[in-house]
Amino acid sequence: MGPVPSGRLILASASPRRLDLLRQIAIEPALVEHPDVDEAPLRRELPAKTAVRLAHAKAQAIAPRFPADFVLSADTVVACGRRLLGKAETEDDARGFLTLLSGRRHRVYTAVVLCAPGGTVRERLVQTAVVVRRLDQTNMAAYLASGEWRGKAGGYAIQGRFAAHVRQIVGSYSNVVGLPLFETAALLRGSGFRL
């Protein structure tokens, strides 16, 4: 067995939630780099494949600059059936997403990619099922007025007010927030990063 890698951790993400989640398990990246990646899904691409492709693209946008370090990236997508729900940029986006999710089960996929010193690349794909209660017009209007939906995949933030509308979660809660912590920690440990 060779020497244990001793590189720094570089987080390839523009998401403040991912940084907060890592800090929750006492991991502080040495640097946070914002990858410039087109996040548009490809035509007929399944949601899970979109998450994996984008997580790899984010890692590859940053990793070549830090060959002696660990570069961690992730991408989270919300899907209702085969339909991928992007980030809500307008109130109409959010209303459309929430109308679709109301009273239904949907899935949240997060792909986590780790580029280790020496060029080894590992990935994990985590899936969580989320059941949302039926939202009436009053609930919908109140949530839209909160503005919490802005920039959120699927038009909601489970760690905020929307939690009152989530009936059931099957799988990783932190995955729905934006980074599956158990799987991320295991990926780092398994690659030789000291937690």
- For residue 181, give the 3-state DSSP assignment: helix
**Measured between alpha carbons, how far is 5 from 137 in angstroms, rounded to an integer?**
54
Instruction: Tell whether 195 is covered by a domain.
Output: no
Q: Is the pLDDT of residue 143 over 60?
A: yes
CATH number at residue 118: 3.90.950.10
Band of residue 2 on the pLDDT scale cut at 50, 70, 90? very low
Q: Is the pLDDT of residue 6 over 70?
A: no
pTM for this one? 0.92
Catalytic-role residue among 75, 92, 93, 136: 75
Band of residue 41 on the pLDDT scale cut at 50, 70, 90? confident
Instruction: Tell whether 1 is covered by a domain.
Output: no
Beta-sheet pairing, 121-132 with 166-170: antiparallel
Q: What is the pLDDT of residue 58?
A: 98
**Measured between alpha carbons, how far is 5 from 3 in angstroms, rounded to an integer?**
6
Q: Is 75 a catalytic residue?
A: yes
Instruction: Tell whether 173 is covered by a domain.
Output: yes
Q: Which domain holds residue 157?
A: 9-190
4 versus 21: the higher-pLDDT residue is 21
Task: Please give the structure tokens belonging to residue 66.
Answer: 């830090």
Instruction: Tell whether 3 is covered by a domain.
Output: no
